[in-house]
Amino acid sequence: MGAADKKLMSVRVDQTYRGVVAREDHDKVFLLLWVDHHDKAYEWAARKKIEVNPQTGNLQVYEVNAVAPETPAIAAVSTPLFVKLSDDQLQLLGVPLEQLEYIRSLTSMEAFFQSRGIIPEDCYEHLEWIVNDFPFEEVMVLVNENRGTAAQAHDMESALLTPESQKSFVVVEGEDELRRMLAEPLEKWRIFLHPSQRKVVSRRFNGPARVLGGAGTGKTVVAIHRAKHLLKTLPENQSIFFTTFTTNLAADIQDNLRKICSVEEMRRIEVVNLDAWVLRFLREQGFPTSLIYSDQLDETWEEALALSGVNLGLDARFFAEEWTRVLANQGDFSKDSYLFASRIGRGTRLDRGKRLQVWRVFEEFQNLLREKKTRDIDTALYDCRKLLENRYPDGLFQSVSVDEGQDFRNNAYRLLRAIAGPEHQNDLFIVGDAHQRIYKRKATLSKSNVHIRGRSSYLRINYRTTEEIRKHAFALLKGISFDDLDDAYDDGKLCQSLTHGPKPEVNVFKDANAEYEFLINHLRELEERGIGLRSVCVIARTGKILEEYKAQMTQAGFRVYEIKRSKSDDRTFEGVRLATMHRVKGLEFSYVFIVAANDRIVPLISAIDASDEVSREESLTAERCLLYVSITRAQREAFISGYGKLSEFLL
């Protein structure tokens, strides 16, 4: 067939299609590499080679006799991208010997991006860290985490066992397994594991473990596969508790678990947002109650302040924050606990006398909750934990998985510790990213009796967004310090995307009508390009603002689907998605339009706690994180627009 590699041969699929298969003479393994029309399949094989890389032990498919794209005459004297690396260093990064000259000929980022599909996939990934200015030594640390054990001699069968090879190849044992695999729905293949993720999924932890990573690095996917993996190690009478912060995120996790788990496995995984589980548990234990939020909670604090007669010149919002951020963080709701509690991070100073007055407001608040048979979430978390410690000292679940861990407070982690029981192997698995903390809640794992003690992993590769979108979004957080969910810091710099595309487009219009017109025209353009509009999401800061855009799109003839707190996205509905910045968290779309990014809306003026400078800065950071989260929902393109005066975050 005129193949460049003697290991390649063709097989007939039908009268039209041919498959390209690789096989070594002494090996019983057949690798199906390519299927195409007869002539195109032969053309592909004429320029491809498959080898086991002697440095990495990985199986690589790459192009022979590759030629770098022509450079414009004005840039012909550009410095080669990898001039600072020796041939030995390039080979350590996985560059095949036959492609050294080609790699040396690349002189621009554009030429390098075009090399994807020409050079081996693992090699491309390693070199992209270099072109993004990561030191060679630092990249080698990442490479060594994922590479196979190099040996004197490799064959394709043994090379298929390395994590990097398994990223690109699926090993099928027999025809029955192949039939079962091909019969699976396409949705099931969308949950992909990178070798670095696979290591985290299968690792045995002697206690709680934490996984960090920026937006799009696959933290939730890792947690989902981890839950399935642990089921194999647990006795059949034991189950896993999988929780996250909101109802719609829990519904999405449930849907994704169904794609990789059997019906029997699903019976052994309880997926629920923590607030809902707490309410149900309290009622099951004989404590009829309801949880109050938002306006109802604010009214209760206003009433408590009025009944107390306290006049410190502080509004009800201050006492609510003091309750959540100081008292609830102590793990004990007693007067002494509050009087001696640390208030670091609270801008308003309180001496002992003023704390006693604050406590009077707290007492009235507790009295009102009892009278109305209600609880705020802090009280509910505490009561739930005390019940568990007294009635179920060994816990209720052998293993607990936590998604969006940055949004949980100390009080919640103490409860999760009680749900899992005393520390034991594979008990708590927490994934999160402080850069996506949008609820102004900050927990420190070690202060919540969750001790990770070095059991921590960091996911560095963004699979969702392009590098241009990632950089644009991350720039919004420049100069802000973020924690690692414990006592150290996470600068978020050890992350990059492997795909590229246009930079996010920022537009400011004279008025709302001009922005509406811009949005409608772009949606029509996407339709004309044959892009399904369910892959498009329009995001606004509040639900009220979103209603205005919903009306405009409906009037223009577009079908729309609003994503709400209480349910997951119905992917069978063909139409534009609408979501607030809070509700879009955890989701992803090909195209994202962030609208009404105006001054006083982003950041939302009513969401800024101006009681003191510390609270104000924390509120502004949460608003920046909201915008960061919204932009990083986009896989291909992001559009950000406003009218009148644009958001200060975008100037």
Whether 190 shows a pLDDT value over 50: the answer reads no
pLDDT tens-digit map of 109-168 = 888 988 888 999 889 989 988 988 888 998 888 788 766 554 445 678 788 777 777 777
Average pLDDT over residues 527-542: 95
Instruction: Say yes or no: 62 and 11 in one domain.
Output: no
In a domain, 494, yes or no: no
Whether 417 shows a pLDDT value over 90: the answer reads yes
Whether 181 shows a pLDDT value over 80: the answer reads no
Overall domain count for the chain? 5
As a whole number of angstroms, the distance between CA 172 and CA 177 comes to 6
Q: Exposed (0-12), middle (13-18) or buried (19+): which is 58, by Cβ within 10 Å?
A: buried
How high is the pLDDT of residue 151? 45
- Read off φ and ψ for residue 152, nearest 5 degrees: -60, -40
pLDDT tens-digit map of 589-611 = 999 999 999 999 999 999 988 77
Whether 177 shows a pLDDT value over 60: the answer reads no
74 pLDDT band, cuts 50/70/90, is very low
pLDDT tens-digit map of 366-375 = 999 999 999 9
How high is the pLDDT of residue 152? 46
Choose the most confident range, by mean pLDDT, from 5-14, 248-257, 495-504, 594-603.
594-603
As a whole number of angstroms, the distance between CA 532 and CA 577 comes to 11
Q: Which two tokens stand for residue 231?
A: 């089921």
In a domain, 108, yes or no: yes
Residues 6+ apart with CB under 8 A from 262: none
In a domain, 313, yes or no: yes
As a whole number of angstroms, the distance between CA 70 and CA 558 comes to 44
| Cβ–Cβ < 8 Å for 162, 56 | yes
Instruction: Say yes or no: 116 and 199 in one domain.
Output: no
Instruction: Say yes or no: 170 and 274 in one domain.
Output: no
Instruction: Say yes or no: 103 and 129 in one domain.
Output: yes
Range of the domain at 26: 1-39
How high is the pLDDT of residue 436? 94
Instruction: Say yes or no: 33 and 75 in one domain.
Output: no
User: How does the average pLDDT of the chain come out, rounded?
Assistant: 88
As a whole number of angstroms, the distance between CA 463 and CA 499 comes to 8
Higher pLDDT, 240 or 345: 240
Instruction: Say yes or no: 33 and 61 in one domain.
Output: no
Distance of CA 1 to the CA centre of its chain: 45
Residue 269 in 3-state DSSP?
A: strand
Instruction: Say yes or no: 247 and 148 in one domain.
Output: no
Instruction: Say yes or no: 570 and 631 in one domain.
Output: yes
Instruction: Say yes or no: 325 and 343 in one domain.
Output: yes
As a whole number of angstroms, the distance between CA 165 and CA 198 comes to 12
How high is the pLDDT of residue 146? 64
As a whole number of angstroms, the distance between CA 578 and CA 576 comes to 7
Average pLDDT over residues 245-270: 91
71 pLDDT band, cuts 50/70/90, is low
Whether 186 shows a pLDDT value over 50: the answer reads no
- Residue ending a domain, choose from 151, 183, 215: 183
- Residue ending a domain, choose from 341, 375, 409: 375
Instruction: Say yes or no: 297 and 266 in one domain.
Output: no
How high is the pLDDT of residue 150? 45
Whether 253 shows a pLDDT value over 50: the answer reads yes
| Placement of tokens 């920022």 in the chain | 506
Say if strands 8-12 and 17-22 run parallel, antiparallel, or are unpaired: antiparallel
- Residue ending a domain, choose from 375, 408, 433: 375
